[in-house]
Amino acid sequence: MRLADILMEDDIISDLKARDKKGVLEELAEVVSRHNPSVDRVVLVNVLVERENLGSTGIGDGVAIPHGKLKGVDQPIVSFGRSKTGLDFDSMDAQPVHLFFLLIAPENSSGMHLQVLAKIAKILKNSAFRKLLMEASGRGDLYRTITDMDEES
């Protein structure tokens, strides 16, 4: 599955306003719920917070991949946000997080969920890609950077 199939340009936030973990989750959930009527923002935030309570999805190198499964969703949904200043997300390396990929998957889809999660983690291991995301000028540029990288991987 390609990210271009599940990430819409409108689901990208080029400059997150949030200053803490819950704020980021709320901001990313807001764009997802706006474009997906079956997604209740409050329920989604609760699912994400519960997942974060199990262990941070901040994987290091300025990256976090908050994720969860949601009833009523029939295919994976991805949103992306960038914090130019970075923020504390309890990341594994204790460094600020700048790049956030939010993944929502259907409640009963562990295989598909893990496949998309692995794809996102793989492309984010590339330091040149992370640098391009930080330097992108706006939503359109971020979308093209992500989908181009996905085509190459």
Hey, what are 76's tokens?
């994976």
Q: Is the pLDDT of residue 131 over 90?
A: yes
Q: Under the phi-then-psi rule, with left for phi > 0, alpha for psi from -120 to 50, and beta for the rest, what region is 17?
A: alpha
pLDDT above 70 covers a percentage of the chain that reads 99
Choose the catalytic residue: 35, 67, 98, 113: 67
Q: How, if at all, do strands 77-87 and 97-106 pair? A: antiparallel
pLDDT above 90 covers a percentage of the chain that reads 78
Q: What is the pLDDT of residues 25-72, one digit of tens each?
A: 999 999 999 988 889 999 999 999 999 999 999 999 999 999 999 988
Catalytic residue check, 35: no
Hey, what are 47's tokens?
């699912």
Domains in the chain with CATH codes: 3-148 (3.40.930.10)
Q: Is the pLDDT of residue 138 over 80?
A: yes
pLDDT at residue 15, rounded to an integer: 97
